[in-house]
């Protein structure tokens, strides 16, 4: 597995990383209650809503998911009346436009109920997730709106709920919708025409895209930092011998295992009788690793194999941890002594 570890590090540093798409999902939760047929200056509010979203979608980013949910339409009745007209997806701008154009507002305004359904619509979707509520008043179904907002806010994790009010005049509506936005990680805006509506949507979406791009940028930087740290977290094994020539004509490493896996040894494992050779040096995850080493000493044709010896070494992050093994002659066998050093990595 060590070769795979090294290959992954090589790929990280050599191959260019393609720019990631800012993964953003926007679902409009739009007002289809009967009051949307009232006029905002010289236009019906439902027409302002249609034209404002259409104006935004004219030059909206094509690589964001868009969807639309409505409440108050003829398909349902009462305070459970909400319909997912277009599930959030890529390349559905025209579907969203067609769905909004077909809206015929008639019913009540179960805003909190619809937003809860909106959160469900976003489940399982990755990236930045935004609900944009566009309404001309507050919830007509919740008797205690402040309490309902508090409960709803607890259902939110990382989603944002922004609120755009169409021609709001009632102080109660203003205060409740502002509270909703504040408690739901969002912003509140009040608009009175299609241009203002499109501009506010554009502001919300542009900010979401920018924030997601920054998150991805930071994520890529963190991955690069961790990759560099992994490259600098290295484990090295050196073998040193100091055997008089009348006892030795050559030394060879016959087995080097790290964490139970045999590894190739530099120079084919051949070491001089009075020599020092770095036999292993590779990136290695931090933490404890086990090293088993066996060598043989050739005394002019009389070959003696050392006992296999195991060493436990704690590899430190961002540095080179060096295990140096030295030949040691004992009364009845040849073995090893060792020391560990922690050195700066190149």
Model confidence pLDDT, tens digit, residues 261-312: 999 998 888 999 999 999 999 999 999 999 999 999 998 889 988 889 999 9
Bridge pairing between strands 287-299 and 250-258 = antiparallel
The pTM of this model reads 0.74
Bridge pairing between strands 319-329 and 234-242 = parallel
Which ranges in the chain belong to alpha helices (H)? 2-14, 45-58, 93-101, 111-121, 145-154, 171-183, 194-232
The number of beta carbons lying within 10 Å of the beta carbon of residue 107 is 21
Which residue, among 135, 115, 256, 113, has the nearest Cα to 188 in the 3D structure?
135
Taking 80 as the threshold, does the pLDDT of residue 9 lie above it?
no
Exposure letters 29-56 (e unless 16+ CB within 10 A, then b): bbbbbebbeeebeeeebbebbbbbbbbb
Q: Is 268 helix (H, G, I), strand (E, B) or coil?
A: helix
Do residues 285 and 318 make contact, with C-beta atoms less than 8 angstroms apart? no
Give 73's pLDDT tier (boundaries 50, 70, 90).
confident
Do residues 279 and 251 make contact, with C-beta atoms less than 8 angstroms apart? no
Alpha carbon distance 292, 70 (integer Å): 68
Do residues 102 and 73 make contact, with C-beta atoms less than 8 angstroms apart? no
Residue 66 Ramachandran class (φ > 0 left, ψ -120 to 50 alpha, else beta): beta
| Annotated domain spans of the chain | 21-223, 233-344
Alpha carbon distance 146, 148 (integer Å): 5
Q: Which residues contact 286 (CB under 8 A, 6 or more apart)?
A: 233, 315, 316, 317
Share of the chain above pLDDT 90, in %: 78
Alpha carbon distance 165, 52 (integer Å): 13
Give the torsion through C-alpha atoms of 259, 343, 286, 15, to 10 deg.
Answer: -100
Give 77's pLDDT tier (boundaries 50, 70, 90).
low
CA end-to-end span of the chain, whole Å? 23
pLDDT at 54: 96
191-218 pLDDT, tens digit per residue, is: 999 999 999 999 999 999 999 999 999 9
Alpha carbon distance 46, 228 (integer Å): 55
Give 8's pLDDT tier (boundaries 50, 70, 90).
very low
Give 17's pLDDT tier (boundaries 50, 70, 90).
very low
Taking 50 as the threshold, does the pLDDT of residue 7 lie above it?
no
Mean pLDDT for all residues in the chain: 90
Bridge pairing between strands 82-89 and 65-71 = antiparallel
Q: What is the fold, at CATH topology level, of the domain defined by 21-223?
A: Rossmann fold (3.40.50)
pLDDT at 12: 42
pLDDT at 76: 56
86-111 pLDDT, tens digit per residue, is: 999 999 999 999 999 999 998 899 99
Exposure letters 199-229 (e unless 16+ CB within 10 A, then b): bbbeebbeebbeebbeebeeeeeeeeeebee
Do residues 333 and 309 make contact, with C-beta atoms less than 8 angstroms apart? no
Do residues 28 and 67 make contact, with C-beta atoms less than 8 angstroms apart? yes
pLDDT at 62: 86
pLDDT at 16: 44
Q: What is the fold, at CATH topology level, of the domain defined by 233-344?
A: Immunoglobulin-like (2.60.40)
pLDDT at 37: 95
Specify the DSSP class assigned to residue 33.
B
- Per mean pLDDT, which range of 63-77, 112-126, 316-330 is the poorest? 63-77
Q: Is 291 helix (H, G, I), strand (E, B) or coil?
A: strand
Which residue, among 242, 247, 264, has the nearest Cα to 324 in the 3D structure?
242
Mean of pLDDT values over 136-145: 94
């Amino acid at each position: 597995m060590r070769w795979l570890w090294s290959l992954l590090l090589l790929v990280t540093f050599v191959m260019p990383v393609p720019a990631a798409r800012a993964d953003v999902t926007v679902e409009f939760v739009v007002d289809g209650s009967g009051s949307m047929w009232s006029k905002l200056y010289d236009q019906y509010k439902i027409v302002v809503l249609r034209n404002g979203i259409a104006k935004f979608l004219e030059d909206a980013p094509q690589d964001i998911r868009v969807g639309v949910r409505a409440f108050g339409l003829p398909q349902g009745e009462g305070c459970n009346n909400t319909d997912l007209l277009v599930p959030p997806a890529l390349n559905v701008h025209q579907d969203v436009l067609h769905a909004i154009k077909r809206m015929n507002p008639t019913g009540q305004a179960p805003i909190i109920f619809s937003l809860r359904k909106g959160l469900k619509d976003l489940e399982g979707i990755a990236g930045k997730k935004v609900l944009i509520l566009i309404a001309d008043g507050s919830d007509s179904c919740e008797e205690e709106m402040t309490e309902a907002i508090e409960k709803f806010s607890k259902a939110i994790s990382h989603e944002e709920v922004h609120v755009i009010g169409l021609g709001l005049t009632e102080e109660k509506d203003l205060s409740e919708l502002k509270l909703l936005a504040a408690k739901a990680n969002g912003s509140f805006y009040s608009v009175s025409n299609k241009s203002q509506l499109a501009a506010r949507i554009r502001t919300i979406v542009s900010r979401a895209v920018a924030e997601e791009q920054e998150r991805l940028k930071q994520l890529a930087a963190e991955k690069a930092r961790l990759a560099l740290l992994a490259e600098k977290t290295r484990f090295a094994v050196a073998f040193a011998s100091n055997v008089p020539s009348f006892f030795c004509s050559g030394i060879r490493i016959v087995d080097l295992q790290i964490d139970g896996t045999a590894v190739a040894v530099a120079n084919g494992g051949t070491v001089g009788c009075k020599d020092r050779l770095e036999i292993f040096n590779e990136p290695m995850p931090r933490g404890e690793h086990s090293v088993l080493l066996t060598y043989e000493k050739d005394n002019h044709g009389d070959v003696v194999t050392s006992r296999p010896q195991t060493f436990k070494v704690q590899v430190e992050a961002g540095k080179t941890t060096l295990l140096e093994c030295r030949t040691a002659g004992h009364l009845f066998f040849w073995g090893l002594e060792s020391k560990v050093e922690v050195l700066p990595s190149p």
